[in-house]
Amino acid sequence: MSTQWAAQFLVAAELERNGYVVSFTMGHSTPVADLMVGHPVSGEQFWVDVKGLAKPTAWLGRSKPPRQNLFYILVLVGTQRSKDRFFVLSQAEWDRLIQQYREKHPSQKPIGGFNWLDPQKFENEWS
């Protein structure tokens, strides 16, 4: 199973359930995000970068240049649908977790990311 693809489709499904229209940007080299999202009534538009894990390990990724309306949705893809978990962060929250991890572990190689437990307070923060 491709965990990343499963995560992207799960996020798209959740957003569609909430009335949004989702487009996939297709490809690992997409510079902005994995999904472009819009609301057909309000006109609201935003980007979503999806990170997927099959088991609770570190969330890997780097900070990107600041972009208005960029969000990160982290997904633990469960073996059953009821086991899926979602963590919804703004770009600033994502960047802050990376920075805090770097400050707590200055001697580690700077690969980018943070511990599994770090984004727990963002679980199911879809609003």
**127, part of any domain:** no
Asked whether residue 26 is domain-assigned, the answer is yes
43: domain CATH number is 3.40.1350
Is 96 inside a domain boundary? yes
- In the chain, pLDDT over 70 holds for what percent of residues? 96
* 97 domain-assigned: yes
Average pLDDT over residues 31-52: 94
Q: Is 6 exposed, middle or buried (0-12, 13-18, 19+ CB in 10 A)?
A: middle
Task: Answer yes or no: are the C-beta atoms of 122 and 89 closer than 8 Å.
Answer: yes
Residue 45 β-bridge partners: 38
Tell me if 11 is assigned to some domain.
yes
What is the domain range of residue 86?
A: 3-122
Mean pLDDT (the chain) is: 93
Q: How many domains does the chain have?
A: 1
Report yes or no on 29 lying in a domain. yes
pTM over cut 0.75: yes
pLDDT score, position 127: 84
